[in-house]
Amino acid sequence: VAEIYRALNSDPIDVAVLRRMAISEGGLLTDEIRCKVWPKLLSVNTDDLPPLPAGKELREDSKDYQQVLLDVRRSLRRFPPGMPDDQREVLQEELIDIILHVLKRNPQLHYYQGYHDIVVTFLLVVGDRLATALVEKLSTHHLRDFMDPTMDNTKHILNYLMPIIDQVNPEVHDFMQSAEVGTIFALSWLITWFGHVLSDFRHVVRLYDFFLACHPLMPIYFAAVIVLHREQEVLDCECDMASVHHLLSQIPQDLPYESLISKAGDLFVQFPPSELAKEAAQAAQAERTAASTFKDFELASVQQRPDTVLRQRFRERLRGEERTKSILTKPRTNRFVKLAVMGLTVALGAAALAVVKSALEWAPKFELQIFP
C-alpha cells in the first residue's frame, strides 16, 4: 500500500510502478486504491470527467436500448449477494445509462452481449461518473475489437489460444485439435474479461487489475493458462468435441489465481503476440485488430509500457531459477514436423475462421452455455 501511494504522490506519477503493483501478487488490494489507480492505468484525467448522462434522452434515441435492458435485467448475480432490491435497481439504471452514453458518444462502437458484464464491474468499484470515463477509454482501446460490426476480429483473437497452448504443452494442444473442440468455450471468458463466468467478485477485480496493467491480448493468455492448468482433466476426457467443450466451458471457481496470473505474464514475455501472429491467422487480418495498434496507445502514455514491466518482472524471476529448469519451455517436437505445421497454418487460416463461424451459427444450441 505504501509503495502504491508513493507512486501516486510522485511527480510525475510513476505509472510503471502502478502497473507492477497491479500485476504483482494481490494486485491493487482495495477498491479505494483501484479508484485512484485504474484511471492512471488508462490515462484518464479524473479532474475533467464528463457530466452524468441524461437517461431519458439516451434511451429514446438508442437503437440498442432494448437489448441492453434485457441483458441488464439478467445480470442479477453480478451484484453483491444480499444487496437491497432498491439499491440494485438504482445501479441497474446507472448501468444502462453508462452503456448507452458510451455508445452514443462513439457511434463506431457496436454493443455486444457480455459488454454489460465488464461495465458493471467498473460501476461497482468506482461509481457511475468515473466508470463512464474509464469504460469509454477501455471501449476504444482494449475492447475495441469486440465492438466491431462483425465478430471477425474477436475470432482472430480467439485464434491465438491454441498457438499459446502449443508452445507450452503440445500434448494438450494435439488432444484438443483431435477433439476438434475449437475455441468457442473461451468466448465468454474473453469478451467479458471473465466477469460473466467467475462468481466471486474479488477474483474478478483482481483479474481486472492485471488486464488493465497489460496488453489487450493478455486475457487470451490467461485463458490459455487456465486450460494448461487443467491438463490432466483435459487428457482424461473423452476425445470428442462435445465432451471437451463441456469440460472446458465449466470454469472452476477455485483456481490458483495468483499463480495463473504469474504464468500468463511470463508466457506473454516468452511468446509475445508478434511471434504467434502467423500461427493465429493471416498477417493481413492481424494488422486490422486494435490489439496490434496498441503501440500507439503506449506511445501516447509516457512511462506506461506494460510490456516493459512484464519483461522486467520476468527477468527478475529468472534470476532466482536456472533457465534449464523452466517449466514453461516445452520440449520441441521434430523441427521438420513443426515447420510443416507452420506452413500449413497460412493455408488453414481461412478454414479456421470458417470453423469458428460455423460454430457460432449453432447459437440456438450454445447460447445458454455461453451466456446462461
The total of other beta-carbon atoms located within 10 Å of residue 347's CB is: 9
pLDDT of residue 292: 56
Q: Which three cell numbers stand for residue 313?
A: 518482472
| 3-state secondary structure (DSSP) of residue 251 | coil
Give CA–CA dist 267/317, Å, rounded: 13
Q: Which three cell numbers stand for residue 187?
A: 468466448
Among residues 33, 9, 47, 43, the alpha carbon closest in space to that of 302 is found at 43
Break the chain into its structural domains and give their ranges.
1-146+303-318, 151-287
pLDDT of residue 74: 87
The DSSP element (H or E) to which 229 belongs, if any, is helix 218-229
pLDDT of residue 305: 53
* Residue 126 and residue 208 in contact, taking contact as beta carbons nearer than 8 Å: no
**CA–CA distance from 195 to each of 7, 42, 198, 280, 371 (Å)?**
28, 19, 6, 25, 11
Q: Kindly give the residue spans of alpha helices, DSSP state H, lying in 250-292.
A: 257-270, 273-280, 283-286
Give CA–CA dist 323/191, Å, rounded: 34
Angle between helices 170-179 and 218-229 (to 10 degrees): 90
Q: Which three cell numbers stand for residue 240?
A: 470428442
Among residues 42, 34, 8, the alpha carbon closest in space to that of 298 is found at 42
The reply to whether omega before 12 is within 30° of 0 (cis) is: yes
* Residue 214 and residue 23 in contact, taking contact as beta carbons nearer than 8 Å: yes
What residue has cell string 510443416?
Answer: 340
pLDDT of residue 288: 53
CA atoms within 13 A on the CB side of 224: 29
The total of other beta-carbon atoms located within 10 Å of residue 195's CB is: 25
pLDDT of residue 181: 93
pLDDT of residue 223: 97
Q: Which residues of 206-241 are buried (b: 16+ CB within 10 A; e: fewer)?
A: bbbbbbbbbbbbbbbbbbbbbbbbbeeebeebeeeb
pLDDT of residue 364: 36
Give CA–CA dist 95/88, Å, rounded: 10
Q: What is the CATH number of domain 1-146+303-318?
A: 1.10.8.1310
Among residues 308, 283, 304, 313, the alpha carbon closest in space to that of 137 is found at 304
Give CA–CA dist 4/16, Å, rounded: 11
Mean pLDDT by 10 residues, the chain (372 residues): 95 94 95 96 88 73 90 89 92 94 94 95 95 95 94 92 95 95 94 94 96 96 97 95 94 94 96 87 47 50 56 68 52 41 38 38 37 42
**151-287: in CATH 3.60.21.10:** no
* Residue 368 and residue 246 in contact, taking contact as beta carbons nearer than 8 Å: no
